[in-house]
Structure 1
Amino acid sequence: MARYHVLIPGAGHGARMQSETPKQYLMLSGKPILQHAIDIFEAIEQISSITIVVAKDDAFWQPALLSHCKKTRVVDCGGETRAASVLNGLQSMADTVAAADWVLVHDAARPGIDQAMITRLINAISASEVGGLLALPLADTLKRADEHGLVDETIPRVKLWQAQTPQMFRHAELQQALSTHLHRQPTDEAQAMEWMGHQPKLVLGDLKNMKVTYPQDLTVVAALMQAVPE
């Protein structure tokens, strides 16, 4: 029977946060952003292991983040891009993860993930051939700008979704997809799988699972996490 593993790429710095500290280590509601995700995955019985990928020269990582963890390990094989970090992480897991095992790749800067979302994703994807991801149907009208910052086109939002994480795929298939298409710089795992000819399934996520990108996002996600029960 296939097992479930988590891979969290945490080698990025997040320049748009305007902070010397990488955003995954910024404090949110009393603990680092990354710690929120680790704690949630640690508490889920179905999850067999959690791998955190950090940069080799990461001066901010603190072993105390794993002081109460039983499933989590850290590997310092972060790459130049998110996709490279994920690929390196998959390769580091190869000796302990079966080819058909599921890997849930989750952004280090999405602290609002909860057990309900993860369970919904696992239940929706486990019987599928390809895999899938959490996502939200797009609510806002999209505008494409020209080089002068003027509206060039309005893009219909019908059938458009905003990708979130975790993104869940078989270990061997995801590793092959990223190895094949790393040079094309996929922005997420689903895109690499799409380039291999697959159609990942979209599973309803949640607004509080937003990615912390800008300084003001810390206040927003903290409020959402407090307002919505897990």
Structure 2
Amino acid sequence: MAVWAFVPAAGSGVRMGVMTPKQYLMLHNRPLLWWTLDRLSCQPEVTGVMVGISADDSHWSDLKWHSGKMIGTVNGGDDRARTVLNGVEKLLEVGESEDWVLVHDAVRPCVTNNDISRLIAEVVASECRGGLLGAPIADTIKQVSKHRVRTTVDRSQLWRALTPQLFPLGLLHQALSNAIKEGVAITDEASAVERVGFPPLMVEGRSDNIKITHLGDLQLAEVILASQESVDRSEEDR
């Protein structure tokens, strides 16, 4: 069974309040998306990488990212679910229903290859039909209404969902198609798969696998990438 990677990168960046889509903002002199694709293409388990981009994307051709694992792009949809579904359908043309697909946020450039390898290994070895990286909630969580605290939520079983998220192509196609048909808004692939009766495996990942949501996150990502590169160099020198 092959492992494919799909990156939904059709967002406009409206929520960040910038003209340039956030996946193309610069990080260490390269676009965010370049770093994300570089991590995935360097993953030894990954057979090929596909990217979902907006039909009117004017930045992709300037990305200057090249890899023998790049198998093409697909037009994005009206939302994440439709973009990922378009990608899954395209991957099913080159892969098999039981092949795995890693879906990874375009704006999570700090994911490590070790985390991706552990996710793949633990999910494949488990009885689950998929899984995702996550991190336990460390902060105290409050339920709030109209800026008033109503209660403190027990965080002992709460995790932050990260990406990549790993599922069989056929199952993810079924889950996303079902959610879209029923008009259910989903924010990640795991929630779609949960709806069709397959609880995913949660694999603990590094907390520095951050999602770039605000401009200030870029500075933090620069520090994280520099730290990771320093550790990699130290290990190579041993």
What is the TM-score with the length of structure 2 in the denominator?
0.91
Distance 2:174 2:12 in 1: 26
Q: Write the deviation string for residues 80-122 of structure 1: whole angstroms up to 9, x where unpaired.
A: 1111100111111111011000000000000001211111111
Distance 1:130 1:32 in 2: 33
Look up the match of 2:87.
89
For the structure 1 residues 63 and 126, does the alpha-carbon distance in structure 2 shift closer, same or farther, using more than 3 Å as the test? farther
**Superposition deviation, residue 64 in structure 1:** 4.2
Look up the match of 1:185.
185
Look up the match of 2:40.
41
Are residue 121 (structure 1) and residue 119 (structure 2) matched? yes
Q: Secondary structure at 1:59's aligned position in 2?
A: coil
Given that 1:50 and 1:71 are in contact with CA atoms closer than 8 Å, whether structure 2 keeps it comes out as yes
Distance 1:215 1:94 in 2: 36
Are residue 59 (structure 1) and residue 44 (structure 2) matched? no
Are residue 214 (structure 1) and residue 208 (structure 2) matched? no
Look up the match of 2:104.
106
After alignment, is 3-12 or 68-77 more displaced?
68-77
Look up the match of 2:224.
224
Look up the match of 2:29.
30
Distance 2:210 2:13 in 1: 15
Distance 1:62 1:113 in 2: 24
Structure 1 unpaired stretches of 5+: none
Given that 2:34 and 2:63 are in contact with CA atoms closer than 8 Å, whether structure 1 keeps it comes out as no
Describe how 1:147-162 pairs up with structure 2 within 5 A.
148-162=146-160
Look up the match of 2:132.
133
Q: Secondary structure at 1:57's aligned position in 2?
A: coil
Q: Secondary structure at 1:109's aligned position in 2?
A: coil
Q: Secondary structure at 1:213's aligned position in 2?
A: coil
Distance 2:211 2:75 in 1: 23
After alignment, is 103-112 or 38-47 more displaced?
38-47
**Superposition deviation, residue 180 in structure 1:** 0.4
Matched residue pairs, number?
227
